[in-house]
Every structure is written in structure tokens, then in C-alpha cells.
Amino acid sequence: MAHHKDIEQRMNKLGFSRRITVYDFFSDYEKKSVNTLGCKYRWKVGIWLNYQKKLIALRADRDACKEIVIPFDKILGIEMIEDGSILIAGGIVVIEPVETVNDTAKEINKGLQVKIIAGDAGRINRHAKCYILHLFDPVKDAKFYKFNKCIKECAWSIVKEIITVMNGTKHSAVIQ
């Protein structure tokens, strides 16, 4: 089984040319801090994109040793969930904000996840799978509340990129 620290090399080797992970949103000072603590890879949770092959790879949580690969045309929906509330939800037909969040100072108390729904468009109810990216776990990462703004920026970037991917496939989404 592959070790999670090998994900960078593996993703590069497989042609995933762009990534969006929590670590990418840290300042140089924050990166130095997590590198010093030896926890750089715990923050490499997010997505990698291979535009040429039209694939997305997910590293769902900080303990994941293996990525999940999904073809672009299988992505059916996206949700961003903070503290148990859905902030944005979208699917095959409509992407609509459920709630606007401008308060970046608010602490994430129950976690921050991005849920990606994938499957065959004609068989949504029976064959769709949900993949949840656990960007922040308040139990495991309590001492890292100071990264709140970076984590939220990462989540929004992932949502925007997934919407872009969905718009570029035959299951296009309409942003309202």
C-alpha cells in the first residue's frame, strides 16, 4: 500500500498537473510552522486534476494513503458543509448558494467538508457515490484553528474548480 507522503510524486507521475489542497493556501510562515511540526502531509487533503485525461483525484482526509480517482463526466454534484450546515449545493442542473459566508473570522467548530457526488447521470438514485473531503477535523486538528481562513479559502477553491469541471462536461451545470 502506498504511503500518503508519496502522493505528490504519484500524482505528478500520473499526469495530475494541478492541485488544490489546504497546504497550498498557507502563508510561507504557516508552511514553515507545519513543516517544523512534521505535519505537512496532514494538510495535503484536497484534489488533483489531470485535464488531459479528464480525471480528478481526491485525498479525502489526512490519514488517507490512497487517492480516489473520478472521471470528470461522472461528477454529478458538490456540497460544502461547515459545522454541519450546507453552505453551497449543486448538481446536474443547478448550482445555487444556500447561504452566503463572508465571516472568515468565525471559527469552524464541527468541521469543514466538501462532498463530491459522482456516478452515472441516468442512474443517480441507485448508483451515485458521495466522497467527502475532510478539510478540517476539530477533534484531530484543534490546535490549528488559526488556519481557519486558509481552510475556507481552499474549500471555496475546490467548489469553484468542481463547478468549472461540471460546466465543461456533458452534464453541464448552470450557475445562478
Question: Quick check: 152 pLDDT over 90?
Answer: no
> Does residue 107 register a pLDDT over 70?
no
pLDDT of residue 62: 85
What's the confidence (pLDDT) of residue 123? 59
Instruction: Please state the domain count of the chain.
Output: 1
**Number of other residues whose CB lies within 10 A of the CB of residue 29:** 7
C-alpha–C-alpha distance, residues 66 and 9, integer Å? 13
pLDDT of residue 94: 39
pLDDT-based confidence at residue 2 (cuts at 50, 70, 90): very low
* pLDDT of amino acid 172: 39
Q: How many Cα atoms are found within 13 Å in the side-chain-facing hemisphere of 168?
A: 12
For the CA atoms of 133, 85, 108, 66, the dihedral, rounded to the nearest 10 degrees, stands at: -10
Residue 72 and residue 158 in contact, taking contact as beta carbons nearer than 8 Å: no
- pLDDT for 34 equals 86
User: Average pLDDT of the chain?
Assistant: 78
Q: Which domain holds residue 85?
A: 4-175
**Confidence band for 4, pLDDT divided at 50, 70 and 90:** low
How much is the pLDDT for 110?
A: 65
Residues of the chain with pLDDT > 70, as a percent, come to 73
Query: Global pTM?
Result: 0.79
Cβ–Cβ < 8 Å for 81, 87: yes
Return the closest-CA partner of residue 87 out of 71, 110, 69: 110
Whether the per-residue pLDDT at 63 is higher than 60: the answer is yes
Q: Which residues pair with 19 in a beta bridge?
A: 48
CB 96 within 8 A of CB 169: no
Instruction: For residue 75, give every residue at least 6 positions away whose Cβ sits within 8 Å of its Cβ, in sequence order, or none.
Output: 56, 116, 117, 118, 162, 165, 166, 169, 171
pLDDT band of residue 90 (cuts 50, 70, 90) is: low
Tell me: the pLDDT tens digits for 20-46?
A: 999 999 999 889 988 888 888 888 999
On whether the CB atoms of residues 44 and 25 are closer than 8 A, the answer is no
pLDDT at 86 over 90: no
| pLDDT: which is higher, 20 or 62 | 20
